[in-house]
Chains A and B, each alone.
Chain A
Amino acid sequence: MAGLMAGFGHYTHAVVRGIPASLAKEALRSNPVEVDLAAAHREHESYVEVLKTKLGLEVVELPADESLPDCVFVEDAAVVCGDTALITRPGAESRRREAEVMKGALKDLNLNIVEMTDENATLDGGDVLFTGREFFVGLSKRTNQRGAEILADAFKDYAVSTVPVLEGLHLKSFCSMGGPGLIVIGSSEPAQKALKIMQQMSDHRYDKLTVPDDLAANCIYMNLPNKGHVLLHCTVEEYPESAKVFEKLKDHMLIPVSNMEKVKVDGALTCCSVLINKKANI
């Protein structure tokens, strides 16, 4: 039954984008680290493979654009909820054009497109945490108040609360949803502080799953037919302690996905896809 806020985690489609060679040298990063491009390609391929084969999603693969070194991180270019897609205005100037291709792809999926035309607004999808009942928007280096307002206007059904992001790139650099009403959160002080704020701002109660590593807190939750709760999370190789925590989730189908290379350019698991539920459309 179609309905407001029904089926959190239900997805049918995913939009991904290839890795340009320029990523190795030109992609934005907070720490100057060398990226193994080939490894990154392999990593991304397996990521897409999980979505496509293992989980059975319709994956729309957009071609990489060499002039957009960060274009693989499609999450920042669009926020999709229900049948509405907000095409963002990324905070980094060099990434603004990433939205163009994304817009076309989402349009092709018959989503209602809302564009962020206000030149004072910036918003990265990585700063948007949708819990199923409401949005939290991190106010970070990449996302500002105006961007959050436009998001709130695009998704009128939901409360949109702002959360200051004092450290880290994005809000979702240290948190994400691990299930309905379950927030996975890093254990750093800024992460815990942000969680407190989110809990205070919300009319709903959230359980939390604290993982030792902030970056490991970024995982992908889905609720898929015949599979139930699915969680894509970090591997033991990357974050052994955090991986153990995820293993406590007995009800989830746990799928460790390696992200060792992309993380070097501040890419997390959620960054590499835009998930869409076409059936949710009423």
Chain B
Amino acid sequence: MTTEVGSETEVKEKAEESAAQPDQSEKAAEENAEVANAEGEEKDKEKEKDGKEGKGIARYLPTWLKKQKSQSQTSPTKEVPPTEEAVNKVTQEEEGPAPEVNGHAEEVDEKEAVKSEQVKEKEAESHSNASADTEPAKEEKVEESAEKSTEEAKVTTEGEGEEEQKEQRGKEEEEEGVGGGGEGQTSIFQSPLRLVRKTKMKLVVCHVNLLDGTDFTCEVEKRAKGQYLFFKVCEHLNLLEKDYFGLTYTDTHEQKCWLDPTKEIKRQIRSNNWQFAFNVKFYPPDPSLLTEDITRYLLCLQLREDVASGRLPCSFVTHALLGSYTLQAEFGDYEPDQPRPLDYISQRTFAPNQNKEMEEKILELHKSHRGMTPAQADAQFLENAKKLSMYGVDLHHAKDSEGVDIMLGVCANGLLVYKDRLRINRFAWPKILKISYKRNNFYIKIRPGETEQFESTVGFKLQNHRSAKRLWKVCVENHSFFRLNAPEPPTKARFLTLGSKFRYSGRTQAQTRVASSLIDRPAPNFERTSSKRISRSLDGAPVISITEAGTAENGREFHSDSKKVKEVDLSPGDAEATPTQSLGASEPAPAQDHDKTQEEVLKHQASISQLKRSFMEAPPPSPPQPNQWEKRLTSSPATTIRVQQHQVSLEEEIASVLFSRHSGTGFSLAAASACSIPKPTLDDVITTCSSTSTAVCGPATLSAEVSEPQTEAAADDNTISDTKEPTKPPVVKTEMVTISDTFAAQKTEIATKEVPIVHTETKTITYEAAQLDGNGDGEPGVLMTAQTITSESLCTTTTTHITKTLKGGLSETRIEKRIVITGDCDIDHDEALAQAIKEAKEQHPDMSVTRVVVHKETELEEED
């Protein structure tokens, strides 16, 4: 989705995000649904994590919730992906020993799939009364999966459906105990049914087209993440310096996309076509710095194809020279005795416009390479190839502000602008303060020059939203890889933050070089098999699209120099000349990273650092036109440095504050105090909660929220979902963190890093007062009044639901305020939320805050 300017109305934003959501109410409905999903996810996660402990959130849930869970047979499988440690931690605290949770399947790869299932459950749980709630969620899922093959269809269907499908597949495919490097998947199921289903993990056969033209086939679990397959391939290739490479697939729009290692494969490919290609993702500017010949060889293979296809243009002479090195590497010294040497040359493709003259030149040059070893020939090949002006440049079609066709080239040094074959502009990474995209526009904010006072923003038009997003992601990844010391860590937990979580998740070049230097193995033998090379389709310019890169491997926060900026700074170091990323991060963290990576490398561990991302993401990029938020931000020194690597196509932040007043009871919820904290960071909130919890008489005194408001929302959701679905991307992920006061003590232990972060478009954080099972019991109150007040200012919409319920002899008035903040501008979400809470409290001094739900929604998919 494109990010919208904050100044725009909510409606617009929503429209962009979801297909078309006319009303705020609809929005609210969405929110609810999302929240539900998020909750479900969180619960799942918790369950997963806690599974070992045997405690689940369910414990704390009202009985009715539990009942629903049991009813909904789709019990969330508790799979703990090893990679997502953060999630695990979070879950621990919240874990309730839910019976459901008993079995934990530790499936790294399958997390997301699980999520979907769980989401359903969660929905059911959260909205106990409304079965309708679950439906909307399902619908959304269905939409998403609709495009996908039948496999995904199961996702849309309830967990049962999935199981069935899995079983079918299991029959079709042999079951494998998949144990990838650290990605082994084991699933434990609580219920026998589940056990049966899960044990029959569906396996899918993946075909990977390797650089030498051969196919590599392997089976992976259907829910495997990209990196599982990638590591399989690297293992097959005996490749250690793998960070320069990646897997591509062709999406439904015939675009080549990078497989996100951190996401489930099947959620990315959206089809039953498990066809991939192994390619160079980051072209090392100096291949001679690579440690192993095998890495250089693979790079050569890629470049040969690039050259032969015309993607990497070069002159006649260069074609001939590169071709001659190829011959030397593949065939050794020129054999004068060879009969008709031109024959075997003409069988291979060296250039798009290969002719006899070129072949003769190649042969002539080949003769001059006598005595050169294959490795030397490869090295010479690379020494020449790397000097080509288009080496490592990833081109994207675009138009400039005047509608003129141009090409944008992303490379190690920055962003290049071409008109036809001419370079008409160049933006080095240090010159770029921020990159963002909105709809089909791509923006870069330029650091002011010496003589300039103001930063400027340059905009380009891409073909569509998808293209803009793809370009943005490529920029994020290239910048991270080539310019940073370490992948930028998530910003410190902020209470509310919007923004794409997309970050480059792999090692940076700096890291991989360190890692490579530690490689200690005899040079592996490998066969140069150009002969087995199959003619590959030589299609035009490479289109690299990255679907989603979710997690930053390292959870460290990247500070640019001395400036305390939470946002990602694209220009860590001012010196353009210095290629090394050391400039940027002066923190001690990088060093640690290197250590880590070293160890990992030594261990040959598949996965690097785990996801330690706080769900608090960096703020969304600000649109070119400053809105009020941005203006405010720009006034602070920090903003000038701020770069937004994360762009959220659609960012929506929803905070709902729930107040409840129990006429019958005089208890006030302590949670309110926590909520009133001006700028709550997650940590702050947590600690506060703990203190309050002690102060409060006990969880029992707290009243559980009434589910009714949610129910309404759920109902809305149904209608909303319909409208949404057409445009909504198939993949909607929800993340939810629930923190209850009761266990504040445990919560305090939660480090920001540990907050589970899932690559999801939607995040929901719920802070709620502890609920007793008894409180929430299945007797829904009576809805006395429902009032919706909508005020719109800036990008904030507030919706208030007032619900009065009679429970037993007690009348309870619940006010639910929904504050929707939309836009891609730089919003200080923490402050926004704090303000909202404060206002709400002021308006209802006699009530207490029982629950705060922060819901963040980002739309992954582009309209199309």
- Taking Cβ atoms with an 8 Å cutoff, the residues of A that contact B are 2-5, 82-84, 112, 133-134, 137, 145, 148-149, 152-153, 155-162, 200-203, 205, 281-282
Contacts and interface: CB of A to CB of B under 8 A. Distances in A.
Contacts of B413: 203
Contact of A5 (B387, B420, B422, B425): B387
Contacts of A82: 315, 317
A12 B424 CA distance: 33
B424 A3 contact: no
B365 A282 contact: yes
Given A4-B388, A5-B387, A282-B321, A156 B422 contact: no
Contact of B423 (A5, A156, A162, A281): A162
A282 B317 contact: yes
B634 interface: no
Contact of A157 (B318, B320, B423, B428): B318
Interface in B391-423: 411, 413, 419-423
B719 interface: no
Task: Give the interface centre of B317, B361, B387, B420 by most chain A CB atoms within 10 Å.
Answer: B317
Contacts of B317: 4, 82-84, 281-282
A145 to B, nearest CB: 7
Contact of A205 (B320, B389, B577): B577
B344 interface: no
B314 interface: yes
B321 A84 contact: no
Nearest to A145: B422
B387 A149 contact: no
18 contacts: A3-B321, A4-B318, A4-B387, A84-B316, A145-B419, A149-B422, A152-B420, A152-B422, A155-B315, A157-B318, A160-B421, A161-B426, A200-B425, A200-B428, A202-B426, A282-B321, A282-B361, A282-B365
B313 interface: yes
Given A3-B380, A161-B424, A162-B422, 17 more contacts: A3-B321, A4-B387, A149-B420, A149-B421, A152-B422, A156-B313, A157-B315, A157-B318, A157-B389, A159-B389, A160-B422, A161-B423, A162-B423, A162-B424, A201-B423, A203-B411, A205-B577
B321 A134 contact: no
A203 B315 CA distance: 20
Given A4-B387, A84-B315, A159 B320 contact: no
Contact of B426 (A152, A153, A200): A200
A282 B313 contact: no
Given A155-B315, A158-B389, A203-B413, A4 B424 contact: no
B422 A161 contact: yes
Interface in B291-328: 313-318, 320-321
A201 B365 CA distance: 34
Task: Give the interface centre of B318, B390, B422 by most chain A CB atoms within 10 Å.
Answer: B422
Contacts of A155: 315
Interface of B: 313-318, 320-321, 361, 365, 380, 383-384, 387-390, 411, 413, 419-426, 428, 431, 577
Contacts of A156: 313-315, 318
Contacts of A161: 422-424, 426
A112 B319 CA distance: 15
A154 to B, nearest CB: 8
A153 B421 contact: yes
A240 to B, nearest CB: 31
Contact of B321 (A4, A149, A200): A4
Given A82-B315, A82-B317, A201 B425 contact: yes
Main secondary structure, interface of B, reads mixed
A281 B808 CA distance: 96
A176 to B, nearest CB: 20
Contact of B384 (A3, A153, A158, A159): A3
Nearest to A1: B380
Contacts of A133: 387
A153 B428 CA distance: 24
Contacts of B422: 137, 145, 148-149, 152, 160-162
B321 A2 contact: yes
Contacts of B423: 159-162, 201
Nearest to B383: A3
A282 B320 CA distance: 9
Contacts of A152: 420-422
A204 B499 CA distance: 34
Contacts of A134: 389
A201 B426 contact: yes
A160 B423 CA distance: 6
Nearest to B320: A282
Nearest to A149: B420
A153 B314 CA distance: 9
A159 B424 CA distance: 10
A106 to B, nearest CB: 16
A224 to B, nearest CB: 22
Task: Give the interface centre of A134, A153, A201 by most chain B CB atoms within 10 Å.
Answer: A201
A157 B316 CA distance: 9
A157 B388 contact: yes
A202 to B, nearest CB: 7
Nearest to B576: A205
B764 to A, nearest CB: 45
A133 B386 CA distance: 12
Nearest to B365: A282
- Which 4 A-B pairs rank lowest in CB-CB distance, beginning with the nearest? A159-B389, A152-B421, A161-B423, A156-B313
B387 A157 contact: yes
A280 to B, nearest CB: 9
A148 B419 CA distance: 11
B427 to A, nearest CB: 8
Nearest to B450: A196
A161 to B, nearest CB: 4
Contacts of A202: 426
A47 to B, nearest CB: 31
Contacts of A137: 422
Contacts of B365: 282
Contact of B316 (A112, A153, A158): A112
A197 to B, nearest CB: 9
Nearest to B389: A159
A26 B532 CA distance: 66
B190 to A, nearest CB: 58
A161 B424 CA distance: 6
A206 to B, nearest CB: 11
A209 to B, nearest CB: 18
A206 B65 CA distance: 69
A160 B314 CA distance: 13
A205 B425 CA distance: 16
B217 to A, nearest CB: 38
A193 to B, nearest CB: 11
Task: Give the interface centre of A84, A133, A203 by most chain B CB atoms within 10 Å.
Answer: A203
A160 B420 CA distance: 11
Nearest to A200: B426
B585 to A, nearest CB: 23
Nearest to B423: A161
A259 to B, nearest CB: 31
Contacts of B411: 203
A153 B420 CA distance: 10
Contacts of A5: 387
A82 B384 CA distance: 14
Nearest to A4: B384
Contacts of A158: 389
A7 to B, nearest CB: 13
A83 B425 CA distance: 28
